[in-house]
Amino acid sequence: MSEPARDLIGNQRDLFDIPAGVAFLNVATMGPLPIAACEAGQRGLARKLHPWTIPDADFFADTQRLRPLLAKLIGADEAGIAFVPSVSYGLATAARNLALEKGQKILLLADQFPSNVYTWCEHARATGAVIETVAAAGNVSLSDALLDAITPDTGLVACAQVRWTDGARIDLAAVGARCREVGAALVLDLTQSCGAMVFDVDEVKPEFVVTAGYKWLLGPYATGFLYAAPHRRGGTPLEQNWITREGASDFSRLIDYTDAYAPGAERYDMGARSNFALLPALQASVQQILDWGVANIEATLGHQNRALAEALEERGLTTGPESGRGPHYLGALLPQTAPDDLTARLRSENIYVSKRASRLRITPHLFTTQSDIARFLGALDRHLA
Ligand SMILES: Cc1ncc(COP(=O)(O)O)c(C=O)c1O
């Protein structure tokens, strides 16, 4: 893949409804909706005041508009995209369609997000496969440890581009290549990177990718998408609904039941996918991200976070080498003396970060100002003194 051009983006606070006194550094928990996305969602919700004005064709319009935009985020073709309400739903779809043999290994990252652990524990119970958890050790990075652990008895690797607790980065191109070498399936949860880090399905070649819409895609809750590789588009959906069948747009013929699905990954779409309120909002958010450009977002957040990481290191909060983490994602190891209620104390000063395990997760975005960062560092100095 050729390297995309990268420009630094100026501050975008005007597009958000974030008061000057709020330092919101917590996109990893919940990205804010841009104002335009909220308005699009409100307009969409209001359509339901007058259902008689909603034409049948509109059950298809939002998903038709969104599929190519979502595909563009990950360098995919739109026929590979399906709508899911959650990561767990998308992962369950992947699990249903990936057969494993007794004794084959399922590799997971240590401290991986629970939805991407429980799904595979259940799949291991059902198939007799064995879960193996990979951790960084000594000088070996998490990414290298994962690569080392992929052996001919590996049936499946389920991981992320960055780990949700600390932002540790996985070299997915290398992992994808190694999976293909040994014949293992690769399933990715890109919730903590899609929209903020460049990713290309052609480079990594995963079987399935799942992404929630409400974090780095700045979309509404209960939105998300699944990508299925071309040879995985003929599988079994989690549920059998009417709208993913061939000919569903002719409402008068829905009881002419058919076994044929709509083409591509559409068969995996969730029931009630045509959400008239949420999808217009997601579309506006994703369009905004594409307008900024994912490579430019990555470069800009990386630039901002480099300075912030240095300031944190000066205060004894280690974030690790930049090459080992997602540029948009800081997981700072807290000193043992840090107060247990640190995030609550910060929240009382209108500074929002999250704590996962022993790390302070600091995830600003294009709306973050120098004054937000100065207030955050000033508050840290007081509470960690
Ligand atoms: C990495 C990751 N995956 C998935 C999710 C959400 O999972 P689900 O959609 O199953 O609720 C989160 C939420 O914090 C997350 O951080």
Regarding the beta carbon of 156 and ligand 1, being less than 6 Å apart is answered no
pLDDT score at 156: 98
Pairing of strands 359-362, 224-228: unpaired
Whether 13-35+292-383 shares its CATH topology with 49-276 is answered no
The backbone torsions φ and ψ at residue 105, rounded to the nearest 5 degrees and listed phi first, read -90, 140
| AA letter at 290 | L
Query: Of the residues 113, 226, 363, which should be mutated to test ligand 1's pocket, given the most ligand atoms within 8 Å of the CB?
Result: 113
Domain 13-35+292-383 has CATH 3.40.47.10: no
Indicate yes or no: pTM above 0.85.
yes
Strand, coil or helix: 133: strand
Q: Which residue shows structure tokens 């996918």?
A: 273
Tokens at residue 301, please? Answer: 């957040």
Regarding the beta carbon of 192 and ligand 1, being less than 6 Å apart is answered yes
Question: What is the percentage of the chain residues whose pLDDT exceeds 90?
Answer: 96
Tell me how far the alpha carbon of residue 385 lies from the centroid of ligand 1, in angstroms.
34
The chain-wide mean pLDDT, for the chain, equals: 97
Among protein residues, the one whose CA lies closest to atom 7 of ligand 1: 87
H or E stretch covering 157: strand 154-160
- The CA distance from 334 to 164, in Å, is 16
pLDDT band with cut points at 50, 70 and 90 for residue 148: very high
Q: Which atom of ligand 1 is nearest to the CA of 85?
A: 9
Is-contact 86 114, C-beta < 8 A?
Answer: no
Regarding the beta carbon of 319 and ligand 1, being less than 6 Å apart is answered no
Edge-to-edge order in the sheet of strand 359-362? 330-333, 359-362, 354-356
Regarding the beta carbon of 88 and ligand 1, being less than 6 Å apart is answered yes
DSSP classification of residue 225: E
pLDDT score at 267: 98
pLDDT score at 189: 99
pLDDT score at 248: 96
Tell me how far the alpha carbon of residue 171 lies from the centroid of ligand 1, in angstroms.
20
H or E stretch covering 78: none
Regarding the beta carbon of 191 and ligand 1, being less than 6 Å apart is answered yes
Query: How is the chain split into domains, by residue range?
Result: 13-35+292-383, 49-276
Q: Which residue shows structure tokens 């045509």?
A: 274
Q: Is the pLDDT confidence value at 2 over 80?
A: no
Regarding the beta carbon of 193 and ligand 1, being less than 6 Å apart is answered no
Regarding the beta carbon of 223 and ligand 1, being less than 6 Å apart is answered no
Q: Is the pLDDT confidence value at 58 over 70?
A: yes
pLDDT score at 320: 87
pLDDT score at 5: 79
pLDDT score at 1: 52
Domain 49-276 has CATH 3.40.1480.10: no
Tokens at residue 189, please? Answer: 């949860």
Q: Which atom of ligand 1 is nearest to the CA of 86?
A: 9
On the 0-12 / 13-18 / 19+ scale of CB atoms within 10 A, 77 is middle
Tokens at residue 185, please? Answer: 């399936």
| Model pLDDT for residues 261-320, shown as the tens digit of each residue | 999 999 999 999 999 999 999 999 999 999 999 999 999 999 999 999 999 999 999 998
- The CA distance from 327 to 319, in Å, is 11
| AA letter at 82 | A
Regarding the beta carbon of 86 and ligand 1, being less than 6 Å apart is answered yes
Question: Averaged over 89-107, what is the pLDDT?
Answer: 98
Q: Is the pLDDT confidence value at 3 over 80?
A: no
DSSP state letters, 340-364: TTHHHHHHHTTEE-EEETTEEEEB-
Among protein residues, the one whose CA lies closest to atom 14 of ligand 1: 29
Q: Is the pLDDT confidence value at 353 over 90?
A: yes
Question: Averaged over 49-72, what is the pLDDT?
Answer: 97
Tell me how far the alpha carbon of residue 191 lies from the centroid of ligand 1, in angstroms.
6
Q: Pick from 370, 379, 367, 311: which is nearest to 342 by CA?
A: 379
pLDDT band with cut points at 50, 70 and 90 for residue 357: confident
